[in-house]
Amino acid sequence: MAFQNRLIHPGRFWLLLLIFFGNVVAAIAADGPSGQEKHYVQLTVIGKIDAGQNSVTASGEPPEYADAAFAVDFSKSPQAQADFREMNGKTSVVRGYYVQCTREGKNGKPRCNANQSPIGLFLQPVSIQTLRTPDGDVSTKDHSVSVVCRGLLHTGVVAVGGETTGFTIEITPDGRETWELDMSRKLLSKAMKADGKSVVVSGQLKIRKSVAVPERWVITVRSLATEPDAQN
């Protein structure tokens, strides 16, 4: 897996990201999980790097949204860790795959080399780039988390206090971890017909603060594609 480290202008970044979303299948096939896998989560995180904790954090928008922190695993790209350390404290663009650690060996030690993820999920980086703005002033307003994921869609979801969008997508093969989906009106009909099916969604990920569930991971869906043959 080739690792890249270069500067990127934010305007050019968003253009490239738009192109990326339009070519999801090609991007996945070229780098990372196979398109034949039932589940994958690809993230593009613009956030602050903490080399001491091997993490990258995209600041939220208080009081409604919490910070989104991701533990970074370098088991598949150890050469990236040196570059990661050089960017400590800086706002950077980290792109990679969110994967669930598997346990190996007699002692059941996790395969991933990070250990601070409470649910055993880690961001395996494909590229890390320093974010630059025209005036050189980078703030938390530039932070964001873009996501493309494939998994089983569920509709009609209920929760205590009504704290749910009513839609979820499984982000792990065992189905134990799910994220909510915030659908636009134009996607509601398509989403309802895709209940229980494998879909690919893209959008912006944020962590909403709630009462019954303190932190809800919600994707504001930009696009949704059904895959009727994905489960065969």
Query: Could you read off the pLDDT tens digit of each residue along the chain, which spans 232 residues?
Result: 444 444 555 555 555 444 444 443 334 333 455 545 678 999 999 999 999 999 999 999 888 999 999 999 887 788 888 889 999 999 999 999 988 776 554 455 555 554 444 456 889 899 988 887 666 678 888 899 999 999 999 999 877 667 788 999 999 888 888 999 999 999 999 999 999 999 999 999 999 998 888 888 999 999 999 876 444 4
pLDDT at 138: 80
pLDDT at 174: 82
CA 162 to chain centroid, in Å, comes to: 25
* Domain count for the chain: 2
Q: 111 and 156 share a domain?
A: no
Q: 164 and 120 share a domain?
A: no
pLDDT at 146: 96
The two structure tokens encoding residue 180:
């909510």
Q: Which of 136, 161, 185 is where one domain is finished?
A: 136
DSSP the chain: ---B--EE-HHHHHHHHHHHHHTHHHHHHHSSS-TTSS-EEEEEEEEEEETTTTEEEE---TTTEE-EEEEB--TT-TTHHHHHHHTTTSEEEEEEEEEE--EETTTTEESSS----TTSEEEEEEEEEEE--TTS---GGG-EEEEEEEEEEEES---GGG-S-SEEEE-STTS--EEEEE--HHHHHHHHHTTTSEEEEEEEEEEEE-SSSSEEEEEEEEEEEE-TTTT-
The two structure tokens encoding residue 153:
């869609």
Domain with 210, as residue range(s), is 146-226
pLDDT tens by residue, 15-53: 544 444 444 333 433 345 554 567 899 999 999 999 999
Q: Does a cis peptide bond (omega within 30 degrees of 0) precede residue 214?
A: no
Q: 154 and 87 share a domain?
A: no
Q: 24 and 120 share a domain?
A: yes
Q: 213 and 101 share a domain?
A: no
CA distance 195 to 202: 17
Q: Which of 90, 113, 136 is where one domain is finished?
A: 136
Q: 178 and 105 share a domain?
A: no
The two structure tokens encoding residue 165:
């969008």
Q: 25 and 108 share a domain?
A: yes
CA distance 171 to 67: 20
Q: 114 and 14 share a domain?
A: yes
Q: 11 and 104 share a domain?
A: yes
CA distance 22 to 68: 25
**Considering the domain boundaries, does residue 1 fall inside one?**
no
Contact (Cβ atoms closer than 8 angstroms) between residue 58 and residue 68: yes
Q: Which of 136, 167, 200 is where one domain is finished?
A: 136
The two structure tokens encoding residue 37:
């896998």
